[in-house]
Amino acid sequence: MAGNKKLQKMIALYRAMTGETELDPKKIADFAVKNGVDAPQPKDPMELLAKQISVAAREDLRVDEKTGRPFRAYHSLPIQHSDGQTSFVFIDIDDATRPQMHRSLTKRREQMVGDAVHLTYDADRWNSQNSDEEPIQMELDFSLDVEWRKATDGEDEAA
């Protein structure tokens, strides 16, 4: 299987060779294989099934009987192994202890912060490269957005 650095070089080569600016991963995959990148071998069926179960768990929504609002049923919880490896298990929100739920929610918040940091890096880069245009400003205080979505019961979530 090709590593990320090799695939990033293949993306750059594809762009240089085709001149395309909207990059279709399927077209790049075809290009990469034609240019010597080995396609990954199919995964173990049990590994694929475990991945599908993880996706299903993340997407399982229930409805709060008091508020009528949806909530995620299962939450990912990082587990540190003695060999230094980290894996993830799922906990049912209705069975989770406070420490488990706190760790899971903190992990999700940290992912959001990481996304926000990179969002600002990307906006800063675009703004610096396009100084003749109005800068794109990204608001990072999501408090009003969250309250608005909650007040509209998710009507705007498809937008």
Please tell me the predicted confidence (pLDDT) of residue 154: 54
Rounded to two decimals, the pTM is 0.73
The CB density around residue 77, as the number of other CB atoms within 10 Å, is: 17
The CB density around residue 116, as the number of other CB atoms within 10 Å, is: 13
The Cα 15–Cα 31 span in angstroms is 11
Please tell me the predicted confidence (pLDDT) of residue 153: 72
The Cα 136–Cα 102 span in angstroms is 34
What is the full per-residue pLDDT of the chain (159 aa) written as tens digits? 578 999 999 999 999 999 998 999 999 999 999 999 999 888 889 988 889 999 999 999 999 999 899 999 999 998 888 999 998 999 999 999 999 999 999 999 999 999 999 999 999 999 999 999 999 999 999 999 999 998 887 565 554
Q: Which residue has the tokens 């609002």?
A: 69
Q: State the DSSP H helix or E strand holding residue 18, giving kind and residue range, or none if neither.
A: helix 4-18
* For the chain, domain boundaries: 4-34, 43-90, 97-159
